[in-house]
Amino acid sequence: MHPDGERILLSEETIRARVAELGAEISRDYAGKELLAVSILKGAAIFLADLVRCITVPAFFDFVAISSYGSSAKSSGAVRILKDLDCNIGGRHVLIVEDIVDSGLTLNYLADSLNFRDPASLRICTLLDKPSRREVPVNIHYNGFVIPDEFVVGYGLDYNERYRNLPYIMTLRPQIYEEA
Ligand code: PRP
């Protein structure tokens, strides 16, 4: 394990197996349809890349970039789109692919704003769910793992942009973020 880690929460094998299960479930549910996976930069890119390779129906993908809310904006739930989708989602089957749902503010906002564009359907797939931190409701259709309220990094998740490339998910030693 990386020396900044406290313990491995989800091993590479555990993640791979669950991603394959999610891909199979999504492939069954969308049989006969084309899927447009929409991911939020940057953390979800790793999960998206693995997930779409486990999906057997035609799968397109696109990305949005969203501003992280400052502490004052957080209570209002205000989130801003910095980079919008390249494609039109009207009439398409859209699956939002996210790495983690924490407060829910990001996904609540994105789902609302995409719904305005009249997709044929809109669902949410997240690798990780931290329900103990939820501030606004999010309707998650596909959920990889429910995790406790701990600081986790790896497999796309960062601390100050580090650790995204780790193939597993680990908890971070408190000294690492307390020193900062
Ligand atoms: C993380 C994660 C989600 C969001 C979840 O992104 O990827 O988009 O936070 O938090 P919420 O449920 O409280 O809104 P982050 O802002 O860390 O950006 P990143 O993906 O570039 O790491």
Distance from the alpha carbon of residue 176 to the mean position of ligand 1, in angstroms: 19
Distance from the alpha carbon of residue 106 to the mean position of ligand 1, in angstroms: 7
CB of 126 closer than 6 angstroms to any ligand 1 atom: no
Helix, strand or coil, per DSSP, at residue 94: strand
Residue-wise burial string across 160-172, b where 16 or more C-beta atoms lie within 10 A, e elsewhere: eeebbebebbbbb
Confidence bin at 169 (pLDDT 50/70/90):
very high
Confidence bin at 93 (pLDDT 50/70/90):
very high
Q: Flag whether pLDDT at 70 surpasses 60.
A: no
Q: Flag whether pLDDT at 134 surpasses 60.
A: yes
Show me where the domains of the chain are located: 11-151
| Residues forming the active site | 102
What is the CATH number assigned to the segment(s) 11-151? 3.40.50.2020
Confidence bin at 180 (pLDDT 50/70/90):
low
| Average pLDDT estimate for 89-99 | 98
Model pLDDT for residues 108-123, shown as the tens digit of each residue: 999 999 999 999 999 9
| Average pLDDT estimate for 27-52 | 97
| Average pLDDT estimate for 150-165 | 96
Contacts of 77 (CB under 8 A, 6+ apart): 69, 105, 108, 109, 135, 136
What pLDDT is attached to residue 146? 98
If one compares 170 and 79, the residue with the highest pLDDT of the two is 170
CB of 12 closer than 6 angstroms to any ligand 1 atom: no
Can you list the alpha helix ranges (DSSP code H) found in the chain?
12-29, 45-52, 71-76, 105-115, 174-178
What pLDDT is attached to residue 73? 46
